Amino acid sequence: MTDLLLRGGVVITMDGTRRVIEDGAVAIIGDRIAAVGPTAEIAAAHPNPAHIIEARGKAILPGLIDGHAHAGHGLVKTMGNGDSAAWMEACRVIYTLHSPPSFWRAEAQLAALERLRFGVTTGVSLLGGGDSVMRVDDPAFCDAHCEGVAEVGTRSIVALGATRPPFPRPYRGVDGVERPVSFDQQLATIEACLERWHGSQGIRIATLMPVYREATHDPHKVVEIERQGRAVRDLGRRHGALFHQDGHRAGSIEMADRMFGLLGPDAFLSHCTELTDEDIATLVRTGTSVVHNPSAIAAVRGYCPAPRMMDAGVTVMIGSDGTAPDRSCDMFRHMFQAIRYHQRHFRDERMMPPGKALEMVTVDAAKGLGLADRIGSLEPGKLADVITVDLTAAHMAPANMPVHRVVFFAGGHDVREVVVGGRVLLRDGAAPHLDAHAIAEEATREANAMLDAAGLRHMVAEDPGWGLTRRA
């Protein structure tokens, strides 16, 4: 028996031929897509479904994928008034010293609810900020995060990795006591999280290493980095986990492969700005994927050559880099930002057509995360991760060119239904299994407690910059 039938919508399949079915339907049995096609055909083949979603006036799409974001940032996203250095230092202090498990649980629920509301059914989240300020001193913090996400019901890839040398690093633990934490203890924490969560309740774990951009001439430091990289990579490979690095630019990709052997088809790298010819050749040769973060500050400070990488055969997806400190996880916004980013760079409005942008948050992202056989398109046999987008609002009229309208005019709040693994988690814009108000209130309580404990309340004294064209 068919469990769920979405019918009457414009189905943007993202399948191999990129079919767009004007009056289409998707049939779901269990957690899998059973059939996709014209409504009359699918309804006849799947009579009397247990549940029906009437999608007339809506687009039906695969769930969106966010290739790179940060756990923890949901409770610090408004801080600092645009001072990135101060904000990053605050993240270091918060994530290592002033973030109990309750902080990570509340933030996880808030961020997962935001993703759900915006039609993001799968997302990558680094358990901390920057490329190396990870909460990896005790598995309790990862447990709290994963439990919060699991309650919301979206899929998540949680990236965990060691901090930069030197070690040990100070952390304040679950008991509130500050103590030094070694690399080996961090590695043991990552392993415990892999054993507990990898492949469980929609959660997957990825391993992480800091990006080394400097020319490393100290042989002792090279040996230390190689040892740590090998340990992290071997651990991830034993568990079948992906490998991630945050913040590559200007030669660091070639260096990561040549000096430390970190890259490969199971690796994906974020930002990737001002790349050299050798960087791009390394990506092609190793089969490493890239996350383009067009709304991030890194994309302001340097150009990410995403079109050139894609033309060379590199898989490139879009990440929100959310929610830090001025951007949400609304992938519709980030698609549009990516389009304009490259059009402005080339001064050519033909760059980055909407179809490519949509591929970068669906099929391309699924491929880059090693999940192409499971998610990213509406095809029989794939996991039933499906969203609907309202096409009837004033900003979405007139009723033509649905792909163009979805990419250029829709926003996250136009998402009406979200199905994850056959389970309807959002219905008419609401999540009936969650108390959204209570989640927001708990997040505010935890943020306030953190600000007081860390002595950082001054960082939320708002200065909008009235009358200024540039902050001092």
SS3 for 3-16 is CEEEEEEEEECCCC
Integer Cα distance of 407 and 23 in angstroms: 19
Structural domain 64-368, CATH architecture = Alpha-Beta Barrel (3.20)
Phi-psi region of 441 (alpha: psi -120 to 50; beta: other; left: phi over 0): alpha
* pLDDT at residue 264, rounded to an integer: 96
Integer Cα distance of 357 and 347 in angstroms: 18
* pLDDT at residue 131, rounded to an integer: 59
270 and 242 Cβ atoms separated by less than 8 Å: no
Sequence ranges of the domains in the chain = 4-62+376-426, 64-368
Integer Cα distance of 247 and 273 in angstroms: 8
SS3 295: coil
* pLDDT at residue 471, rounded to an integer: 84
Sequence length of the chain is 472
Residue listed under structure tokens 């490493």: 288
pLDDT > 80? residue 217: no
Average pLDDT over residues 90-99: 92
* pLDDT at residue 191, rounded to an integer: 98
pLDDT > 80? residue 193: yes
Band (269; pLDDT cuts 50, 70, 90): very high
Band (78; pLDDT cuts 50, 70, 90): confident
Residue 44 amino acid letter = A
SS3 253: helix
> How many CB atoms are located within 10 Å of the residue 50 CB?
11
* pLDDT at residue 215, rounded to an integer: 61
Pair of tokens at residue 93 = 């202090």
pLDDT > 70? residue 322: yes
SS3 291: strand
Q: Which of 69-83, 192-206, 274-288, 445-459 has the lowest mean pLDDT?
A: 69-83
* pLDDT at residue 132, rounded to an integer: 65
Angle at 70 between CA 232 and CA 149, to 5 degrees: 95
Burial of 16 (0-12, 13-18, 19+ CB in 10 A): exposed
pLDDT > 80? residue 214: no
Residues 6 or more apart in contact with residue 435 via CB below 8 angstroms: none
> 4-62+376-426 in CATH: which number?
2.30.40.10
Band (166; pLDDT cuts 50, 70, 90): confident
> How many CB atoms are located within 10 Å of the residue 463 CB?
11
SS3 13: coil
Band (236; pLDDT cuts 50, 70, 90): very high
* pLDDT at residue 22, rounded to an integer: 96
The pTM for the full model equals: 0.96
* pLDDT at residue 444, rounded to an integer: 96
* pLDDT at residue 87, rounded to an integer: 87
373-406 confidence digits (pLDDT tens): 999 999 999 999 999 999 999 999 999 999 999 9
> How many CB atoms are located within 10 Å of the residue 441 CB?
12
What are the respective helix, strand and coil percentages of the chain, to the nearest 5? 40, 25, 35
pLDDT > 80? residue 273: yes
Residues 6 or more apart in contact with residue 116 via CB below 8 angstroms: 152, 153, 154, 418, 425, 426, 431
220 or 94, higher pLDDT: 94
Average pLDDT over residues 200-215: 89
Average pLDDT over residues 312-336: 94
343-367 confidence digits (pLDDT tens): 999 999 999 999 999 999 999 999 9
* pLDDT at residue 472, rounded to an integer: 81
Asked whether the CA dihedral 367, 373, 376, 378 is positive or negative, the reply is positive
